[in-house]
Amino acid sequence: MNNTMVSKFDLYRMYSLGSIAAKNFDLENDEYAQKLSDSYSGAFDYHSMPEV
């Protein structure tokens, strides 16, 4: 058993919603998986988007 403590950054990097979608769905052909991955990734870019 490996009892390793990881930082929140590493935890989210290893087990992000986008990576779960990519791992468990066909990201190339599944529209749901693409939207799931895009929406999760977009949340991190939201703060830098210009206001309209």
DSSP string, the chain: -------HHHHHHHS-HHHHHHHHS-TTT-HHHHHHHHHHHHHHHGGGSPP-
What pTM, to 2 d.p., does this model score?
0.42
pLDDT of residue 48: 73
pLDDT of residue 6: 75
**Within the chain, which residues score under 70 in pLDDT?**
1-2, 11, 16-22, 40-47, 49
Specify the DSSP element, H or E, that contains 23. helix 17-24
pLDDT of residue 2: 67
pLDDT of residue 9: 79
